[in-house]
A and B are shown apart, each in its own frame.
Chain A
Amino acid sequence: MQNEQDQILSEVTSGEYKFGFYTDIEQDSIGKGLNEDVIRTISEKKNEPEFMLEFRLKAYRHWLTMEMPRWAHLNIPEIDYQDKIYYSAPRQKAKLKSLDEVDPELLETFEKLGIPLQEQKQLAGVAVDAVMDSVSVKTTFKETLAEMGIIFCSFSEAVREYPDLVKQYMGSVVPYTDNYFAALNSAVFSDGSFCYIPKGVRCPMELSTYFRINAANTGQFERTLIVAEDNSYVSYLEGCTAPMRDENQLHAAIVEIVAMENAEVKYATVQNWYPGDKNGKGGIYNFVTKRGICKGDNSKISWTQVETGSAITWKYPSCILKGDNTTGEFYSVAVTNNHQQADTGTKMIHIGKNSRSIIVSKGISAGLSNNSYRGLVKVLRGAENARNFSQCDSLLLGDKCGAHTFPYIEADNQSAIIEHEATTSKIGEDQIFYCNQRGISTEDAIGLIVNGYAKEVLSKLPMEFAVEAQKLLQISLEGSVG
């Protein structure tokens, strides 16, 4: 039994990273290093208005005064911020008019990724704003959306076309002073997505972005801003993959969501950055700040994430429940294998009356990995009748991995009801035995059980993503039980 499992384990762990290809496209990069001149160059290259440059410089100066956070349960090697390239874009000669003009190699990359960028994909009903190494290459479905008044474009375009909106909301949820990586991102961010849903509009399709880190040694610093006006609704998908590379790549993104009265925003992520090889070499450092604010009454923000990639993940999608009767949701499946480390969770800040939040986190660790849930539930004084329920389960596959739970619960209000539950366990031998008895192989049984374990979260994903996520779980885990 042991031998068999070892064999399965080695088969799985020696499996190649499926998305580890590298596209050879001409890149427009600037030299390594970070200083005010680099920031000025980035801003200049992107033709940004003065206020953006100011914002970047302020953020950079603030960043210089900060120290790298050390509180997470992570072992982060020293990062040399001067050894990174902070801008890299596929070289574009002129603006593209149609899909045919898109670099065929780039299209091939996307095809490998399975991004529905071409016409046939239109049937899938997904509008994709593909961000490849920081600059939006192609945005589809823009017209359909524009008819309804929805703005969905790259961040740099938004800076040029809708400077007022950007000025008003950028940094309003995640100020550049927020944390070390948010400051870094605010200083050097290259591109990202901007989404604006006007009053009373229900976005008819799932909006989707694919991030992909391509060039060696470039940090990916994208920024997403979603604003949902009163009575609007949008569901947003983000998917990430990165090619295989030996050196660790840095990824420090910011996502900001603003939900006004009665608005609802759903944000789903499937993160599959390159996790490094089985000896822990290479892989992405994923230090992300994601935060949404339920500004208006009765608004709702829901985060769903499936985290299977990255060598190191440091990520806490949060909700500030400012309005009355607001709802925050967080559903997460985090899988770590080999030498991966993840410290992820959420923050629910209850400010408004009758605000409620739910946290469901499922951690799965295998190999030599460490997987931590870290979540804050804070109920402020005015948040009468605030309600929270948290469920954090960890599943250990193998005896050399770690699963940790670090909840922080802070209550300043007597009417608050906060519940936190967590369990840690492994897949029961009786469960596997039961499946074996019915002719299901051990490997399939594990896949079955893990999928069942994560079902509560996976069911929150939009259909296309759920399928992909389920596959990812299989790739990352199947058979890795020791």
Chain B
Amino acid sequence: MSTVTSKISLKDRFINLYSEKSGEINKNSSALMNSFREEAVERFAKTGLPRKGTENYLYADVESIFGADMEKYFGERKISLNIREIFHCDVPDLETNLLLLVNGRFFNNGQMLKKMPGGIIAGSLAQASKEYPDLVRKHYGKYAGNSEDGLVSLNTAFAQDGIFIYVPKGVKVEKPVQIVNIMIAENDLMAQHRNLFIAEEDAEARIVVCDHTLSAHRFLTNSVNEIHTAGGAKLNITRVQNEHNGSSQVSHTFSRQEGGSELSSITISLHGGFIRNNVYVRLDGERAENNTMGLYLTDKGQFIDNFVHIDHAAPNCCSNQLYKGVLDDYASGSFNGRILVRRDAQKTNAYQANNNILLTDDAKMYSRPQLEIYADDVKCSHGSTMGQLDENALFYLRSRGIDRREARLLLMFAFAHEVIQNIKVDALRDRIDDLVDKRLRGELSRCNNCAMQCG
């Protein structure tokens, strides 16, 4: 359907922006990343932005979010604030290797790439693709490359930097790696970054990702993560989305798991106006295990959309999805989970659950747990519920002298804890328990000593 409009379409606006700025984009990135751009623009020209109402974006209105007039910059910019002073993560006992990403670029503290004992590499993706082109080339664009989602092509065309983490064979990273994504600007800003995590055979690592906004402007992030876990690797990723409600983010995570690997990711969404998380996992080797979980606690006009696609391409794998949410005020949410079991992926065990609590009549929730199965010797099941707190449980608590409000909070907390308890970083788990408790009580849920204006 083509409509004649005097305005330039959104798609063409991005394409024009690319042709205008491609020199600057290329200059401030790496040759390897640049080599992917032209093709991505061509792909984007074919697909455009995803439309609301199409099967994959049934409820998320991406066009109106991306249509907002926002600044995009591709050159170096001096950030006037001293991030080190402002950002001080106060999670007790949370000792991490900290990596900062500011407006989609690795924050320059003199060293673009950290080389840690055991051969671990962490830092700027652009820098890594200059220093280790062979290593990056092996993975970059390999997992996200075939996506038909226009937003992924858009990211490939524009992304200049992001985080690169490499854990060599058999190495175990003791301290979690913490990535703090910060958005800070004097204007409304759009940024697109690209992360690449590689865990080689039998490597082990824990990664914590925190999304924050540092100024009250409107922000839009369109990020792509590519994750590779080789045979026997164990990767654990916890992500806390805590941007202010004027910000929007779309993230795409493409994971490829080889035989015997374990990938667990937990996404906790607390604040943020428009959140869309696309998760694509492909289990490529036997006995791989995947856990993908999410918890969303939304209120006011927040919109959160979780889209999960688990592709069982090898036999004997196991996957588990658990998404839980509490929606208050006039918040709306969507869950779309799909388990795809390919023809020869026999002995697959896949499970999927989505549980929601609606607190008001204005809150809306859309749930689509889906199974697509082409192998017969499998055990796959899914369940989805929407409802309220159990009246019997409430009565039980109240008959023991707990007032109604406290009893409700207790039950909601228990509801949320089912997801939180899977967080593998102890200090972080306690902190998130605390944040969730505050969130449910309607108190500001930001870290005490952190001056970041989340929430």
Q: Which A residues form the contact surface with B (CB < 8 A)? A: 71, 73, 381, 394, 396-426, 482
Contact = CB atoms under 8 A, between A and B. Distances in A.
Given A407-B370, A422-B371, A425-B378, 9 more contacts: A399-B343, A402-B374, A403-B371, A404-B371, A404-B373, A405-B370, A409-B366, A411-B364, A414-B358
Contacts of B373: 394, 396, 402-404, 424
Given A411-B364, A413-B361, A418-B386, A423 B380 contact: yes
A419 B385 contact: yes
A418 B55 contact: no
A71 B381 CA distance: 23
A35 B383 CA distance: 48
A411 B387 CA distance: 9
B370 A404 contact: yes
Contacts of B142: none
A442 to B, nearest CB: 16
A411 B372 contact: no
B452 to A, nearest CB: 33
Given A412-B361, A420-B384, A421-B383, A402 B372 contact: yes
Contact of A407 (B356, B360, B372, B384): B384
Contacts of A381: 361-362
Most interface-central of B343, B362, B375, B388 (chain A CB within 10 A): B375
Interface in B197-234: none
Contacts of A416: 358, 386-387
Interface in B40-97: 55
A418 B354 CA distance: 11
Taking chain A's interface residues, is the majority helix, strand, or loop, or is none over half, making it mixed? strand
B346 interface: yes
B114 interface: no
B293 interface: no
A383 to B, nearest CB: 10
B294 to A, nearest CB: 17
A336 to B, nearest CB: 13
A410 B358 CA distance: 11
B386 A424 contact: no
A418 B385 contact: yes
8 contacts: A396-B375, A402-B373, A406-B368, A409-B386, A410-B366, A411-B366, A419-B385, A423-B380
Given A71-B55, A403-B373, A407-B368, A420 B361 contact: no
Contacts, number: 118
Nearest to B58: A408
Contacts of A394: 371, 373
Interface residues of B, number: 36
Contact of A424 (B343, B346, B380, B385): B380
B376 A409 contact: no
Contacts of B371: 394, 403-405, 422, 424
B388 A420 contact: no
A212 to B, nearest CB: 34
B376 A401 contact: yes
A411 B358 contact: yes
A368 to B, nearest CB: 10
B356 A411 contact: yes
B191 interface: no
B377 interface: yes
B305 to A, nearest CB: 13
A420 B366 contact: no
Contacts of B386: 409, 411, 416-418
A423 B381 contact: yes
A410 B376 contact: no
B366 A408 contact: yes
Contacts of A415: 361, 388
Contacts of B320: none
A5 B113 CA distance: 60
Contact of B383 (A406, A420, A424, A425): A420
Contacts of B382: 405, 420-422
B369 interface: yes
A400 B376 CA distance: 8
A409 B368 contact: yes
A419 B377 CA distance: 26
A8 B376 CA distance: 18
Nearest to A412: B364
A243 B163 CA distance: 64
B330 to A, nearest CB: 11
Given A411-B358, A414-B360, A399 B388 contact: no
Interface in B383-401: 383-388
Contacts of A419: 383-385, 387
A429 to B, nearest CB: 9
A233 to B, nearest CB: 32
A261 B284 CA distance: 56
Contacts of A422: 369, 371, 381-383
Nearest to A387: B387
Given A396-B376, A404-B373, A414 B359 contact: yes
A167 to B, nearest CB: 33
A419 to B, nearest CB: 5
A426 B376 contact: yes
B364 A410 contact: yes
B365 interface: yes
B22 interface: no
A424 B339 CA distance: 11
A414 B356 contact: no
Most interface-central of B359, B376, B387 (chain A CB within 10 A): B376
A399 B383 CA distance: 24
Nearest to A421: B383
